[in-house]
Amino acid sequence: MELDRVETLFRTTVDEISKVIVGQIELIEGVLVAFLSEGSVLIEGVPGLGKTLLVNVLSKVVSCDFKRVQFTPDLMPSDLTGHSVYNMDSREFDFRPGPIFTNLLLADEINRSPPKTQSALLEVMQERQVTVDGKCFPLESPFLVLATQNPLEHEGTYPLPEAQVDRFMFKLIVNYPSQPEESEILGHYAAKKDPRQIASFGLQPTMQSQDVADVQTAASGVIVEPKVIDYITKIVSKTREWHSVSVGASPRGSVNLFISSRTLAACRGRDFVTPDDVKEVAPWVLRHRLRLRPEAEIEGLAPDDVILEILDSVEVPRS
């Protein structure tokens, strides 16, 4: 697929999603870049900001198989992966796949289930396969886990295991809409376009599964010059030695920064990655991989503040 076609698909898809999701362009583009990179996304925000709605709209626009799981304290791992059932006729155990066997999995309010259930996603997010009763079952491509969570200070939530958090390519933050954007949201209802009935918006599919595969192939051919690779590794290395950070990003962070920068460049219609591409995706890739020192948190620093400090401290390679 030519890169101008990739850019057109990307812009068309963003515009189609924006028919329902007002504002939140960074969130929409971040989710789409992760989807085209086959990376999972953790979306955090208080209730009522449209996190679940975004995933529902995405499944309609990219025209792929979609399943939703509402995470609750009593959800078991087998409720996600599936389980074996004894067949009286064949006298053998038959595997009944769970909702995890799909293209787009919405793990809604993932931090409302205990760590035992959350850990059921570890293998599938990294290796795109599920192991049940000693047998491996690969998942079809494309595959994406989109998990939503409420801030941890809210009642009835569990902190996600660090091993699972690190497997998310991006962590995206949903903020409150501006006053004009909120007025536009109400305008949808006034025009009898209810987001609870997505069909009222007249969404049109912009991509099929084959288009996603073609975009991924095109993105894999985007050039990342050695100096840009050095720029990526310097940023990630800085996170491990920064004075306000106790635990920095792992090599998986470098890999995700590399892959997502390349995908973003392809979506912008370029066959090469620029430092600006790296800067744009850096907060998405790194914010959930940094653990700040207690004294930094007391001072009111957030991971995004530290990431900006690190980006300012690393020399940008010149073209």
Pick the CATH number of 25-205 from 3.40.50.720, 3.20.20.80, 3.90.1720.10, 3.40.50.300: 3.40.50.300
Which of the four CATH numbers 1.10.8.80, 3.40.50.800, 3.40.50.300, 3.40.50.10490 does domain 221-313 have?
1.10.8.80
pLDDT at 154: 60
Residue where the block lists tokens 């999701």: 21
What percent of the residues of the chain are helix, what percent strand, and what percent coil, each to the nearest 5?
45, 15, 35
Task: Tell the residue number behind the tokens 């084959």, with chain if given.
Answer: 210
pLDDT tens-digit readout, 246-285: 888 899 999 999 999 999 999 999 999 999 999 999 999 9
What kind and span of H or E run contains 106? strand 104-108
Which ranges constitute the DSSP H helices of 161-274? Answer: 162-165, 179-190, 209-220, 226-241, 251-267
At residue 12, the pLDDT reads 92
Tell me what pLDDT residue 142 has. Answer: 81
**C-alpha 33: how far from its chain's center?**
8
- Cβ atoms of 273 and 228 within 8 Å: the answer is yes
Asked if residue 274 lies in contact with residue 6, where contact means CB atoms within 8 angstroms, the answer is no
What is the sign, positive or negative, of the torsion defined by CA atoms of 257, 262, 265, 271? positive
Three-state DSSP class for residue 264:
helix
Which tokens hold the place of 224?
A: 């990342």
Amino acid at 34: A
Give residue 153's pLDDT.
Answer: 57
All CATH 1.10.8.80 domain ranges in the chain, comma separated: 221-313
Q: Are 101 and 141 in contact (CB under 8 A)?
A: no
What's residue 281's pLDDT?
A: 95
Please list the rounded mean pLDDT of every run of 10 residues in the chain (319 residues): 86 90 88 90 83 84 85 85 78 81 86 80 82 80 84 68 85 88 87 80 84 88 93 94 88 94 93 93 93 86 91 87
- CATH 3.40.50.300 range(s) for the chain read 25-205
Question: Rounded CA gap, 271 and 279, in Å?
Answer: 17
Bridge partners (DSSP) listed for residue 223 = 272
Query: Rounded to two decimals, what is the model's pTM?
Result: 0.86
* CA–CA gap between residue 162 and residue 69 (Å, rounded): 21
Give first-to-last CA distance, the chain, whole Å. Answer: 26
The contacts found for 312-317 with CB under 8 angstroms, 24 or more apart, are 313/238, 314/231, 314/234, 314/235, 314/238, 316/231, 316/275, 317/225, 317/227, 317/228, 317/230, 317/231, 317/275
Three-state DSSP class for residue 68: strand
Measured from the Cβ of residue 156, the count of other Cβ atoms closer than 10 Å reads 10
Q: 142 preceded by cis ω (within 30°)? A: yes
